[in-house]
Amino acid sequence: MCVAVPGKVIETDGNKAIIEVGNVKREIYIHLVPEVSLGQYVLVHAGCAIQIVDEEEAKQTLEIIKELIEDEVY
């Protein structure tokens, strides 16, 4: 299964960006969405931003992911 996770762009540098997902920051590639701006949310898959997404949609998705993690039984 492939999963793309929304992250907020907090820094850009050429074809790379730093995104934030919760308390985690990661460097990603943004060459597929070069028009992305600081503060926007992107869907990230395999280290690459593949699409710019609406902030509300991103927050709803992150909330669902958070709920799934909290409900996980080991």
pLDDT tens per residue, range 33-71: 999 999 999 999 999 999 999 999 999 999 998 888 887
Q: Supply the range of the domain harboring residue 52.
A: 5-71
pLDDT at residue number 73: 60
**Nearest-angstrom CA–CA distance, 2 and 22:** 20
CATH number at residue 47: 2.30.30.140
pLDDT at residue number 4: 92
pLDDT at residue number 72: 72
**Single pTM value for the model:** 0.88
| 32, 42 contact by CB (below 8 A) | no
| 7, 26 contact by CB (below 8 A) | yes
pLDDT at residue number 1: 66
Q: How many domains does the chain have?
A: 1
Taking only the tens place, the pLDDT of each residue in 8-30 is 999 999 999 999 998 999 999 99
Q: Are strands 5-13 and 41-45 parallel, antiparallel or unpaired?
A: antiparallel
**Nearest-angstrom CA–CA distance, 74 and 71:** 10
